[in-house]
Structure 1
């Protein structure tokens, strides 16, 4: 710890008449008996007492309590200790304990520059690891689930909080110059996004259903413990990420609320942030190894359907509120869903429409063209269409492949039925 000069100030009150002195010099003499606080005898200066060995100054101000309206104190003092950070950090707790023994039963810390300096040192480390996890979350879910990851992986309460906070920041988020959501949630909520990924099946009834449907033990293991779930267990859960993140959250709250700090808080922060950075960076390096199994993709498909239904309901409520403000009675939710809700495509429908499209476009069928032009024009939701196509590819019923792009250097992703699906 560095050697900045800092102050520690305490209001000391004796309500019970146990303090045996009333003058400043007697106060210092009582403290000087404790060798943990003093090295040698106090030296009286103009307006303070000096511990020359430790280079610590002690200021004592006696308060006038004769005009109290609703209480009676035997004595009251403000004690201020000034010295370098290394000296004052361990001295504070020893001093408070000694003040209790002397007879002061009411102690309040008025100023603690030691805690301030420690908090200033702590925050950059917490800020760094928080931003590192935000970067990882955006990178992982965007590349593994898609741009709609926020809607299908984050609880509604967290999404609502982020939505409110968008308007609180004028420069970047309210102006819509950037896409922001995960940047607007709290430290603990950011960690919970990771902790919730332990398994693709969060409910016990989902697991029971998989047990009943599985044809063998190996199939069951593959269904419940997919590559995705194993990845989060290996790189986060087994590295005690949740416990470490929660401890950092506790320390961060202390920083935010100007709580008191000790050297241990700083030491814990440095060690925790070091370990968390290793955990996050190791997970980041292995993102490309994550592949969803069929069961996990089906779970994502269901999550997308739920998210789209929720968004449709929100849209309905917003429109009706707007209509009512203009003296229009609105319309029923059933009518709204009929107009706005996209259909969720089935595997059989994908195969049927792909077969028809292949008959029309003999050369090849582009994946994006098939989903956004063919299926979307028929009323099917884009996100769930991609998910169902990925599931069919895993089952070997369709093939995804690259073809030369006639309009650019990057290849075009194409789609076709497999031979087994044509039978």
Structure 2
């Protein structure tokens, strides 16, 4: 027969608060930090010493919050542990299984950060006690909440990489990209899976798993030993024909190189990308399979998402055929027959001013007439940035005893300021992308 909850006044047990602020947590969970969340565990033990076991469980709770002195509590089935300005509400009950095991149900309820931290410490405290052999979680509202926030990031990364790989491989190999890049393992998976829109769309990339995408990025050499020996024999016959030798050598080298070295190393600049993606796979499984998550994994996901999504967005934009408006404007600006420096763009963004010098026209020196001619040639193109006026005179940085130079005198200190009346938000965003994506040097 199971123990019933006893309706008595609940004992309040003060404990230290170890919760610390975190900007990531505040950003994504700030609105729910004062809400209550529950976690519930089922623990199976051998029959016997029921009262001793409930005492042991309560001690484990106190150990989890590092309580030095264990106070007497009024109701072992229903009590509160105060943790500074918050609390954990605890309910414990057991019943017998059909084969006379004891089945304990333990529920903890409290604020988000309190329960998120406590659940890990509580489970750790049970690990050293052999009496609590089987432990299960049947309710974890903390993990539910974290997964809801984490899922869009996982989806964004996974489909972002699919987007990039599809654009990259189709540009490289056209309609034959899958036949060129697939492995036997990937082909088997695709044959076993039916997806929505299968038959209407080519769904190869959407029929393989998150972790399988690394096979396309880090694809190993496909040249078998027999082909390698054959190639060596062929090369031996080309030693006197340098052109044929180089051609065959490059062909064999490409076959032996994996996709990472051959294609992606020069484009994907995120350090240890493949290793990070494999690490992300573990988090992805926790989210996708509705299992349990903690804030440590979530913060790691946020960090990965920031660096990888930014890189993928840049790579995808490079390959887009239909460009976004920001990238279209950026391309027009970069096509102006002038060299912008990062300092030039920052000056435009911060002050709506640019100071043109000979270096903007790839010159070390210019005379006044040449400068006028070059500036006139780009006036219409500069309109993409905005309407501007210019300083009436050139800035020449002349000394007190120097005369104004002739129009044909070559000058390295000559400059002219352009004042833009207004720069649209679209253009500002395009210029910012240019800096972030290292399009402007």
TM range (shorter): 0.5 to 0.7
SS in 2 for 1:122: helix
Tell me the residue number matched to 1:80. 107
- Offset of 1:186 from its aligned partner? 1.8
SS at 2:41 equivalent: strand
Match of 1:144 in 2: 172
2:305 pairs with 1:277: no
Deviation at 1:133, TM superposition (A): 1.1
Q: For the residues of structure 1 that align with 2:229 and 2:307, how far apart are their CA atoms?
A: 36
Structure 1 residue runs of 5 or longer lacking an equivalent are: 289-423
Aligned equivalents of 1:243 and 1:22: distance in 2?
Answer: 44
In the other structure, the counterpart of 2:211 is 188
Partner Cα distance (2:108, 2:150) in 1: 23
Residue among 107, 121, 134 paired with 1:106? 134
Corresponding position of 1:50: 80
- Call closer, same or farther: CA 1:277–1:224 in 2, change over 3 Å: farther
Rate the CA distance shift 1:188–1:144 in 2: closer, same or farther, 3 A: same
Contact 1:42 1:51 in 2 (8 A): no
**Contact 2:39–2:140 at 8 Å: present in 1 too?**
yes
Query: What is the alpha-carbon distance in structure 2 between the residues aligned to residue 112 and residue 94 of structure 1?
Result: 15
Q: Which structure has the highest helix share of the two? A: 1
User: CA 1:129/1:232 → structure 2, altered by over 3 Å: closer, same or farther?
Assistant: same
1:127: how far off? 0.6
Distance 1:179 1:107, change over 3 A: closer
Contact 1:163-1:181 within 8 A present in 2 as well? no
Within a 5 Å distance, the mapping from 1:312-327 to structure 2 comes to: none
Deviation at 1:8, TM superposition (A): 1.1
Is the contact made by 1:244 and 1:276 (CA closer than 8 Å) also made in structure 2? no
Q: What is the correspondence of 1:52-201 to structure 2 with a 5 Å cutoff?
A: 52=82, 53-65=84-96, 68-73=97-102, 76-99=103-126, 104-163=132-191, 165-166=193-194, 168-169=195-196, 172-174=197-199, 176=200, 178-196=201-219
RMSD between aligned residues? 4.0
| Pair 1:180–1:13, CA change in 2 (3 A) | closer
Partner Cα separation in structure 2 for residue 133 and residue 232 of structure 1: 12
Partner of 1:400: none
Structure 2, gaps ≥5 residues long: 1-24, 321-441
- Secondary structure, aligned partner of 2:107: strand
Q: What residue number does 2:38 align with?
A: 7
Give the aligned partner of residue 358 of structure 2.
none
Q: CA offset at residue 135 of structure 1? A: 0.9
Once the two structures are TM-superposed, the CA of residue 142 in structure 1 deviates from its matched residue by: 1.4
The alpha-carbon distance between structure 1 residues 84 and 39, as it changes in their structure 2 partners (threshold 3 A), is farther
C-alpha change, 1:72 and 1:9, in structure 2 (3 Å) is closer
Please state how far the C-alpha of 1:49 moved relative to its aligned partner. Answer: 2.0
1:6, 1:113 within 8 Å by CA — same for their partners in 2? yes
User: Within 5 Å, which residues of 2 pair with 1:13-52?
Assistant: 13-15=44-46, 17=48, 21=52, 28=58, 31-32=61-62, 35-36=65-66, 48-52=78-82
Q: Which residue of 2 aligns with 1:298?
A: none
Aligned pairs for 1:258-269 within 5 A: 258-269=290-301
Q: TM-score, normalised by structure 1?
A: 0.54
Shift of the alpha carbon at 1:32?
A: 3.6
**Offset of residue 272 of structure 1:** 2.6
Aligned to 1:420: none
In 1: Cα distance, 2:150 partner to 2:69 partner: 31
Q: How many residue pairs align between the two structures?
A: 276
Question: Alpha-carbon deviation of 1:78?
Answer: 1.4
Q: Give me the whole-angstrom Cα distance separating, in 2, the residues matched to 1:30 and 1:133.
A: 45
Q: Is the 8 A contact 1:195 1:242 kept in 2?
A: yes
Supply the distance in 1 between the matched residues of 2:72 and 2:150 (Cα, whole angstroms).
Answer: 34
| CA distance in structure 1 between the aligned counterparts of 2:272 and 2:116, rounded to whole angstroms | 30
Residue of structure 1 equivalent to 2:369: none
Alignment match of 2:266 (pick from 230, 234, 244): 234
Where 1:234 maps in the other structure, the secondary structure is: coil
Give the deviation of 1:121 after TM superposition. Answer: 2.3
| Alignment check: 8 A CA contact 1:8 1:111 kept | yes
